[in-house]
Amino acid sequence: MASENGEKLDLRLNIVSDTKQQKEWISLSLRVVAFVATASATLIMALSKQTKSLVVATIGTTPLTIALTAKFLHTPAFIEQGLRLGLIAILDVMAVALAASGDGAASFMAEVGRNGNSHARWDKICDKFEAYCNRSGVALIASFLGITLLLVVNVISITKLFKLNRI
Amino acid sequence: MTKTKRVLTLFLRFLAIGATLAAVIVMVTSHDSSQVLNLTFTAKYSNEQAFKFFVIAEAIACGYSLILLLTFSQTSLWRLVLILDVVIAMLLSSSVSAAVAIAHVGKKGNTHAGWLPICGQVPKFCNHVTGALVAGFSAAIIYFLLIFSSLYSVQNTLFL
């Protein structure tokens, strides 16, 4: 009887540690994919310029690159302690906020560039600089993907903090 | 969930309701018109997509905070509330930064794209929008304080 109970207990501990390892890999792989998405968004946006003979300087809208490069706040959650998980959750919230603000600003500036604003007499620029606009659009799509993944990662790290709390 | 934590959360949510409501009201009531060489130049918040998004996002956050404040006895759902708080904070920060970017172009112009600043012609509109952005920014900061206090209290109960 006692040996049976001992075996059942061992089996349960094995299952718990396996799912923990699995959740670690899920979180880590999502972080890597989110990092790749946001890094590609930064690179595409920063390296896209198009020069024409009429305009002397390269086109760039300054609020964008500053916000987009500040997204590398990833710390992999290998060691599970209460303080570290809390710090990781807080840093993740800040990363999500930064990514969201960069995203929002960039997409609305791109919308003004594509459609113009007749009320403020701002002409659209996308009919003249098509390649730049297309490349910026691709960068925006990548950053939206990145922020979705960052949000999922944040939810996972917060639920990890809750699960630790329940013990 | 101790009593002080509940009181702090309720107080922060009340502040957030006030800030988001102020942002919505100030942005919606901002309009100005001026005459430049026989042309009337009217500026309203609805001419800009980013300002419309700002109003909608702040209204969503205000409604969410009101609903939570009215049903605050449900403490069993505090985990779901924390996750929804993160989503709403993300929405708020995105809307504030989009509106600030467009307002920056409106104030300083963008010489590369040939966009002239409009604040010289409609200064009352610009001041109104600045006030609304300040309220929206403070609403976002209050939401982040809410999230940080909730996370800190969750992590503190581990050591008790």
Residues of chain A with pLDDT under 70: 1-23, 46-82, 165-167
For A84, which residue in chain B has the nearest alpha carbon? B155
Q: What are phi and psi of B115, to 5 degrees?
A: -100, 115
Residue B91 resides in a domain: yes
CA distance B95 to chain A (A): 6
Residue B95 resides in a domain: yes
Pick B78 or B159 by higher pLDDT.
B78
CB B72 within 8 A of CB B7: no
* Residues of the domain holding B115: 3-26+49-152
pLDDT on residue A39: 76
pLDDT tens-digit map of A115-130: 888 888 888 888 888 8
Helix, strand or coil, per DSSP, at residue B42: strand
pLDDT on residue A104: 92
CA distance A23 to chain B (A): 19
Residue B18 resides in a domain: yes
Question: Cα(A109)–Cα(A59) distance, rounded to whole angstroms?
Answer: 13
The residue behind tokens 């396996």 is A18
Question: Closest to B79 (Cβ–Cβ): which among A67, A103, A162?
Answer: A162
Classify the complex by whether its ipTM is higher than 0.85, answering yes or no: no
The pairing of beta strand B31-36 with beta strand B39-44: antiparallel
Residue B39 resides in a domain: no
Residue B160 resides in a domain: no
pLDDT band at B90 (very low <50, low <70, confident <90, very high): very high
Please tell me the total count of domains within chain B.
1
pLDDT tens-digit map of B95-104: 999 999 999 9
Residue B41 resides in a domain: no
Q: Is A48 left (phi over 0), alpha (psi -120 to 50) or beta?
A: beta
Question: Closest to B110 (Cβ–Cβ): which among A61, A108, A159?
Answer: A61
Residue B43 resides in a domain: no
A96/B90 Cβ within 8 A: yes
Residue B123 resides in a domain: yes
Best mutation target among B137, B155, B156, B159 (most A Cβ atoms within 10 Å) is B155
pLDDT on residue A50: 54
1-40 in B: which are within 8 Å (CB) of A?
A: none
